Amino acid sequence: MKYSAVLSVAIAPLAIAKAVHNVYPQHKRSSHKAELGAAAAGSAEAINILQGVQLGSATQVIVIWANPGNNAATTTLHDQVTVTQTVTAAAATSAAVAAAATHTVTVGGAAGLVYTPDSITANVGDMVIFEFMSANHTATQSTFATPCKLMEGGMDSGFQPNANNTVNPPPKVAMQVMTTDPLWFYCKQTGHCGKGMTFSINPTAAKTQAMFQQMAIAQNGTGAGSAITGNSTASSAAAAAPAAATSAAAASGSINQGTGTVEGGACVCAVTCSSGSFPAVAAQGIGAFGGIAGALPASMMETV
């Protein structure tokens, strides 16, 4: 009896160590290279997807599977990684699995050269599924400082063509987030990143998605944005020119008189403006319309 007790105490640390090793294996997995080679050999186009970004011993993202759409077979690049909580001696054999969420991001499509949504908040272990709509886009990882340049070792979905959304279901690529650090992505199709086609995971107050997008346009834009973004094209300027001429012509004529009433001591008034009083729609950007707020000069106000 004493011998059994002593033997159990001696074996316990070895059992715990084995359980910890099973949850956090120390060996490096290299079978992904063979998987990628087999996938490339079996398709007309090599699947241009990396295992994930390796920074020291930390992995930022891992690509789990890719599907070219149209009910084709799914290529499994890696088995889904099980993210566990810290293993303790009390729970060495039954580590709790952290809850994981799935985030779907639409790439391109009817919304234009954008990711929808353009940023998400994700926990370690969460899945991100990119759905590629028209026409031919990528989800390519970069650094914050260089928005339109593939980060060394970064994740790259490769081009996923879907001309006029004719591929149904659409091509999809799934990856798993393995860090709480901000992650930055862009579309590497010619000119798309320079027009602001960017995406981020876990942006911060110091490094926002808006800042990342603005840097992409500033560093790589070719004047292809809208007048609202400050990156107008020659076509936008040309479209705005007739509007400016119309506005000048309207200014040379008489002023449209408005009507108003006094309700509760406040003036409620309205005025009709001609179309030339506003910038051309093409110069405002998609879905962006605006005017100039009105005000009543103090000299015109009724004194009590």
Q: What is the pLDDT of residues 47-106, one digit of tens each?
A: 445 555 554 446 899 999 999 999 999 999 887 777 764 433 333 333 444 568 999 999
The answer to the question of residue 138 being in a domain is: yes
Instruction: Indicate whether 231 belongs to any domain.
Output: no
Q: Would 247 be classed as within a structural domain?
A: no
DSSP bridge partners of 266: 263
Query: Could you give the CA distance from residue 131 to residue 76 in angstroms, rounded to a whole number?
Result: 16
Pick the closest to residue 171 from 266, 74, 77 (CA basis).
Answer: 74
Cα separations in angstroms, 140 against 30, 32, 206, 238: 22, 19, 22, 34
For the cut 60, the answer to whether the pLDDT of residue 262 exceeds it is yes
Is residue 129 one of the residues assigned to a domain?
Answer: yes
pLDDT tens-digit map of 194-251: 999 999 999 999 999 999 999 999 999 875 444 444 444 444 344 334 444 444 444 4
Task: Residue 186: give its domain's CATH number.
Answer: 2.60.40.420
Distance from C-alpha of 215 to C-alpha of 258, rounded to nearest angstrom? 44
Number of domains within the chain = 1
What type of residue sits at position 69? G
Supply the pTM of this predicted model: 0.59
What range does the domain containing 165 cover?
47-84+94-220
Please state the rounded mean pLDDT for residues 179-198.
Answer: 96
Nearest Cα residue to 53 out of 193, 150, 186, 171: 150
Residue 250, in any domain of the structure: no
Residue 304 lies in a domain: no
67, part of any domain: yes
> Sign of the CA dihedral 112, 114, 120, 126?
positive
In a domain, 20, yes or no: no
Q: Can you tell me whether residue 238 is helix, strand or coil?
A: helix
According to DSSP, the residues that pair with 270 across neighbouring strands are 259
